[in-house]
Amino acid sequence: MATKVQNQRVTNTKQSLVDAFYSLINEKDLDKMTITDLTSRAKVNRATFYAHFYDKYQLFEYIHGTSAENVIAERTSGRMAFDEESAKQLFLAVCDYHRKPDFECRSSYLSFIPQIQEKMRAALREYLSQSLEGYMSEAEKSLYVPVYAAMIHEAGCLWADGKVALDQDAAAANVAKLAMGIGRD
C-alpha cells in the first residue's frame, strides 16, 4: 500500500513539472527557463526537481520520450501487430506527434527538433521490434526495423510539414502498403 502511494506521488510530481514546463514554454525560451521557474510553477522545491531530473533538458527529453510512446499507444490502442492497419496508425501517430506541441514555437525549441525526431524514431523502433517478434529472425529485424521506422517517420514528418499533397488518410494507406511490401517475397 505504501509503495502505491509513493508511486502516485512520483507520478503527480512529474506531472506537475511537465505541466509547469508547458506553461512556461509559452512565456520563455527553453534556454532562458530556470529550475526556479519550473519549481515555482509546479509548487515543488528544487530538491524534489533534482530527485526526478538532472536538469531542464532531461525534463524536456522525458516529455518528448513519453509523448512519443503515448501517441503510438493511443493510435494503436496498445495492440502489438505488424499489419497494414498498424502501419497506418503508426504513420498517423507520427503526424500527431509532429503537429504537437500545443505551445508557441520559440527559437530555442527549434534546436531540439533532431532530439524530438529521434524520440519518435526510437518509439517506432521499439513498437516495430516487439510487433515483429516471431515474425522475423533477429538478423532480419536488425535490418528491417530501422528501415520501417525511418520510412514511416519520414513520411509522417513530410505530411505534418505540409510537403505531401495527399490527404492524411490516403497518405497513411499508401505508407502502410509500402511498409507491408518491404521484405516480402
Asked if the model's pLDDT at residue 183 lies above 80, the reply is no
Quickly name the fold that domain 55-185 has: Tetracycline Repressor; domain 2 (1.10.357)
Distance CA 38, CA 44 (A): 9
Which residues make beta-bridge pairs with 31? none
Is pTM beyond 0.85? Reply is: no
Instruction: Please report, rounded to a whole number, the percentage of residues in the chain having pLDDT higher than 90.
Output: 47
Residue 87 to residues 81, 94, 109, 143, 183, Cα–Cα distance (Å): 9, 11, 29, 17, 14
| Mean pLDDT to the nearest integer, 48-67 | 86
Query: What's the pLDDT at 119?
Result: 86
Query: What's the pLDDT at 125?
Result: 96
| CATH of 1-53 among 2.40.37.10, 1.10.1040.10, 1.10.10.60, 3.30.70.260 | 1.10.10.60
Residue 110, C-alpha cell as written in the block? 527549434
Read off the pLDDT band of 108 (50, 70, 90). low
Q: How many other CB atoms sit within 10 Å of the CB of residue 112? A: 15
Which residues make beta-bridge pairs with 133? 136
Contacts of 65 (CB under 8 A, 6+ apart): 119, 122, 123
Q: Do domains 1-53 and 55-185 have the same CATH topology?
A: no
Read off the pLDDT band of 107 (50, 70, 90). low
Contact 144, 182 (CB under 8 A): yes
Q: What is the pLDDT of residues 5-35, one digit of tens each?
A: 455 565 688 889 988 988 888 788 888 899 9
Contact 15, 53 (CB under 8 A): no
Question: Any idea where the domains of the chain sit in the sequence?
Answer: 1-53, 55-185
Distance CA 73, CA 80 (A): 9
Instruction: Please report, rounded to a whole number, the percentage of residues in the chain having pLDDT higher than 70.
Output: 85
Average pLDDT, the chain: 84
Read off the pLDDT band of 124 (50, 70, 90). very high
Distance CA 104, CA 125 (A): 29
| Mean pLDDT to the nearest integer, 57-70 | 82
E strand or H helix that includes residue 57: helix 56-76
Asked if the model's pLDDT at residue 146 lies above 90, the reply is yes
Residue 152, C-alpha cell as written in the block? 514511416
